[in-house]
A and B are shown apart, each in its own frame.
Chain A
Amino acid sequence: MKPAPFAYERPRDLDAALSMLAASNGSAKIIAGGQSLGPMLNLRLVQPELIIDISGLTELKRADVSGGELVLGALVTHADIEDGRTADVTRGAMRAVAANIAYRAVRNRGTIGGSLSHADPAADWISALAALGARMTLRSCAGARTMTIEAFVVGALESALQAGEIVESIHVPTRSASAHWGYAKSCRKTGEFAHAIGAVLIDPAAATARVVIGAIDTAPIVLTDAAGLFGGRIAADYKERFDAGIADAVLAKAGIDDVVQRHIHVGVLKRAVQEAAA
């Protein structure tokens, strides 16, 4: 369990990092906290020629509120969010998610941008941030582009990142005062990856609901208009109107054949709905 040989660079600024990335022609890997890439290197599951360590890029450590949204640099750690060192526009939703990612040792080093880039279906941010309606900015030497989380995550360990691109920032919209947030996951043990995640952002006043079913074998199922799960409309009684049968059908349609897995996913989603609160 030792990595194959690789070259290592630690650029001082984002432009330098992007230049190295462009020059590598796809043979480089970016490392930030290294909580997933480290083991993958040691297991020789990835054998890049070059590792670009971006942990020195101060541009990517910002956390500001501007224009009604929170902008988090890709290097913000889970622990930064858990401990409240970053501003919060989600009324505690992100802090609670961060506090339950893996173990504290992982949260100390693991970054939000790294977690999204890795696109592990069982990780928390790709589901939680999709439910919160977040977007991300990707940057390369050619420029920047912005997309939703659900557009970014293409499949299991597959993202929309193209060669030469890195995740620069995450934009989290302010959660409205009337929006209910619920997040539940089931893990075999404390700190392990979840085998089922349910995330809901339901605003009875606005009659809107975003629902995410995560930790499936592929990209999370993101329902930006989830009224169908609640009898066709979102209102104050949404908890009673949650329709487990429809949720099961959504999972079946997404290709989850195992009835037991579907049952657990529906159960976890139901728990997120039941626990949702303003």
Chain B
Amino acid sequence: MKEGADVRSEREFPSGQSGQGVGARLPRKEDDRLMRGRGQYVADIRLAGLQDVAFVRSPQAHARICGIHVPERHRGSVFTAADLVGIKPIRAVSGLPGFKISEQPVLATGKVRQVGELVAMCVAPTRAEAEDIAASVTLDLEELPAITDMLKAREPASALVHEHWGDNVFLETNYEVDISAALDAPIKVTREISTARQCMSPLEGRGVVATFDRRLDQLTLHSAAQMPHITRSGLAECLGMEEGQIRVISPDVGGGFGHKGILLPEEVCLSWLTMQRGHPVRWIEDRREHLVASSNCREHHYRITLYADRDGTLRGIDCEATVDSGAYSSYPFSACLEAAQVASILPGPYKMPAYRCRTFSVATNKCPILPYRGVARTGVCFALELMLDLVAAEAGLEPGEVRLRNLVLPEQMPFDNITKKHFDSGDYPEAMRRALAAVDIDAIRAKQGRGEADGRRIGVGVSIYCEQAAHGTSVYSGWGIPMVPGHEQASARLTPDGGLELRVGVHSHGQGMETTLAQVAHEMLGIDVAKIRIILGDTAMTPYSTGTWGSRSMVMAGGAVATACRELGERARRIGAKLLQHDPASVVLQNGEVRGVNGSVSLKTIAHTWYRRPQDLPADVDPGGLEVTQGYKPVRDSGTFSYAAHAAVVAVDPDLGEVEILDYVIVEDGGVLVNPLVVDGQIYGGLAQGIGTALYEEMPFDASGQPLATTLADYLLPGATEVPAARLDHMETPSPYTQFGVKGIGEGGAIAPPAAIANAVNDALRPLGVELMQSPITPHRVVAAVLAARATERSAA
């Protein structure tokens, strides 16, 4: 890629020639451990005296607790809210005006507000015995009306999740830029669009092993967590402890996706329990707990109108978006981040002069909604991109043409859109053009004209999005939630044998950061990546960080590692100059050596001398040493904007409702790629999740608030056979604001597929008069829509 090549040649960095630095397609260092089953996850931790915990969970969605009956023989092994004296509820407050506060007791008090809510904690030598005890506990519950429909929950007559609020709305927001200017547009399309409630499904669920060290006066919580420092702050608040009394260790983590960024009531409960009992305790989430009680996400509803001119030029968007936030505000992201974000990101990468968006974060008797890879973007992309296809149909244009007419242009960069999002760089139309060319849109149209022998119908769909990543203080301070990212720090230490230890507060749960951060350090110092160790996931051993979320780690921790390594290299260079008896100004650090005109000295020798033979150093050497901590922020902290155009070709069986993905193309621009192999992996993984959103994943509830997909037999996830061999194409427009020009790309793969696939299905079925505006697109929904369209046609005839 041309831009990328230009950037690299301009770099100040000395070590890029070895094939291990920024841009190298390096296999992941951690895979040697992870792919051989030698990772160490929370469930692998064994501590002497460990006992297992099982929870009594609410069987009802909304009920008053009239009694909890523990059999006599199990008293002492069962704990309820009454036992947890001094433990505070989880409070995640947003500073946005009008936000209503929910308090989530770690064990239920007074009422239960969702199926699966923790009511009592049972401890025993094994999990099976703990479950036996849990099964013996009986609850006396007075059933209350369950609030399961977020639109009905907004109505004044609705029953209330939190009575003292007076309604069920966590937060309402309004945003408008002159919508009246759009109202006379000749094309006006209005629809209702919705995305199902899902469960994000990392291979590893949550898990906690808690223990207390009397000598250190310290609670150690091993937890499958993406943000251990934030977990520590939340725990300290709930437990009333000093942060220094708590150490959070997050070992290998088998996927996070947002679910593992949340402070769990289970974490608070087990922390309390180990301090009470004096022995380590463990709770490992099982898949039923995970599905029923924990990891819900994505449930959006849109009433949306697009205004456009006859040539497809967008005149404006008017939208009312509702998000089912569930019963409680989750820590630290709060119950409103999802819906409130909708308003700011709905316009996406499109130009428009008028915009209005009203959002509602609604409380219901379901699990708290959690931020899942892409967060609000997947729903927003689904809504907007489906609508743009309808504008295309009204205007008689190819869907791709409507995008090209409205996307921000490269010459407009940097670009502030209608919601004041600051786009740093990129060529969005080029990504779309490449995607259209790659699927050969003309050939597909010709094929559609001929029809298929097997009665299936072919369709093609496109979508495009932007992914704001690594947005920092200036963005998050406005949300007023418990966590606002500032400068990111990294520590770099040259070891006596010339290796490098890097300490970072972000975490790696599939992102390959043990490799990519080593590549960054190699770029700066020239040390072989095999000799670079990345230390992460432990509050005692790493600098404070808000952790890994929002596709921020490569930008922020990568930038911090580069900054720390630059300073470390500078110190080594000055020591090297002394050893070479050169003026420091006349030596350079290159490929792991300090070089002067008459010779060179390796970093290994410099380290050895500093630590092991200080007698060889002159008296006036800089005493700072070979261990540094440095902080980093991009030049602007409004976020990097990566993006991708997706194109899907599908075959739909109108009688059986089956959808097969025949071809899938992704043209993505993530700025300068530190490791293109890792980026490809991120995109493939995100695509699989996006296909899940599009076609498979749904957590339905009955009228009493019972979740109906309680095992993976009912909650369907795409498997290897459902994910096509997607074709990837990379553009590499550097960000002007970040170290190396990198951009965050962690979430994008999961954002665009539902829209591209739905548009392809609608393209296939449009001649039958069918339109699907709801995810997932199940066989039942497809056939229902086909039959409804046939009935309409018959009654018209």
A residues contacting B by CB (< 8 A) are 1-5, 39, 43-44, 186, 188-193, 195-196, 259-261, 263-264, 267-268, 270-271
Contacts and interface: CB of A to CB of B under 8 A. Distances in A.
A2 B122 CA distance: 14
Given A4-B135, A43-B711, A193-B713, A188 B778 contact: yes
B601 interface: no
A51 to B, nearest CB: 14
A191 B719 contact: yes
A260 B286 CA distance: 35
B783 A189 contact: no
A264 B722 contact: no
B14 interface: no
Contacts of B656: 186, 196, 264, 267-268, 271
Contacts of A191: 719, 721
Contacts of B132: 4-5
A186 B779 contact: yes
A3 B128 contact: yes
Given A5-B132, A188-B716, A189-B719, A260 B778 contact: no
16 contacts: A1-B288, A2-B126, A2-B131, A3-B128, A186-B656, A188-B778, A189-B722, A191-B719, A260-B780, A260-B784, A260-B787, A264-B656, A264-B783, A267-B655, A268-B656, A271-B656
Given A4-B132, A190-B721, A195-B779, A263 B655 contact: yes
Nearest to B657: A264
For the complex of A and B, list the 7 residue pairs with the smallest distance between their C-beta atoms, beginning with the closest: A2-B128, A190-B721, A267-B655, A1-B286, A260-B784, A267-B656, A260-B783
Contacts of B711: 39, 43
Given A3-B128, A5-B132, A263-B655, A190 B779 contact: no
Contacts of B658: 186
B127 A2 contact: yes
A260 to B, nearest CB: 5
Contacts of A5: 128, 132
A42 to B, nearest CB: 9
Contacts of A264: 655-657, 779-780, 783
B718 interface: yes
B412 to A, nearest CB: 43
Contacts of B604: none
B287 interface: yes
B696 interface: yes
Given A1-B286, A189-B721, A190-B721, 16 more contacts: A1-B131, A2-B128, A4-B132, A5-B132, A186-B658, A186-B779, A189-B716, A189-B722, A196-B656, A260-B780, A260-B783, A263-B655, A264-B656, A264-B783, A267-B656, A271-B656
Interface string B690-709: 00000010000000000000
A4 B130 CA distance: 11
A188 B787 contact: no
A233 to B, nearest CB: 26
Contacts of A2: 126-128, 131
A259 B784 CA distance: 8
Size category of the B interface is 20 to 34
B713 A188 contact: no
Contacts of A39: 711, 713
Interface string B125-163: 011100110010000000000000000000000000000
Which among A1, A43, A193, A196 has the highest number of chain B CB atoms within 10 Å? A1
Which among B655, B713, B718, B784 has the highest number of chain A CB atoms within 10 Å? B655
Contacts of A4: 132, 135
A263 B132 CA distance: 45
Nearest to B286: A1
Given A2-B131, A4-B135, A267-B656, A189 B696 contact: yes
Interface string B758-787: 000000000000000000001110011001
B780 A190 contact: no
A190 B722 contact: yes
Given A260-B787, A268-B656, A192 B135 contact: no
A260 B789 CA distance: 13
Contacts of B126: 2
B123 to A, nearest CB: 14
B783 A263 contact: yes
A145 to B, nearest CB: 33
Contacts of A193: 713
A197 to B, nearest CB: 12
Contacts of B718: 189
B780 A261 contact: yes
Nearest to B791: A259
A259 B655 CA distance: 12
B124 to A, nearest CB: 11
A106 B759 CA distance: 36
A271 B657 CA distance: 14
Contacts of B779: 186, 188, 195, 264
A192 B716 contact: yes
A42 B135 CA distance: 13
Interface string B410-440: 0000000000000000000000000000000
A33 B266 CA distance: 35
B696 A43 contact: no
B611 to A, nearest CB: 51
Contacts of B783: 260, 263-264
Contact of B719 (A190, A195, A261, A267): A190
Contacts of B288: 1, 43
Contacts of B719: 189-191
Nearest to B710: A43
Contacts of B780: 260-261, 264
Contacts of A44: 131, 135
Contacts of A261: 780
Interface string B327-346: 00000000000000000000
Nearest to B781: A260
A3 B132 CA distance: 9
Contacts of A190: 719, 721-722
B787 A263 contact: yes
Nearest to A195: B779
Contacts of A268: 656
Nearest to A184: B656
A43 B713 CA distance: 13
B135 to A, nearest CB: 7
Contacts of A188: 696, 716, 778-779
Nearest to A192: B716
A261 B783 CA distance: 9
Contacts of A196: 656
Contacts of A259: 787
Nearest to B126: A2
Nearest to B54: A2
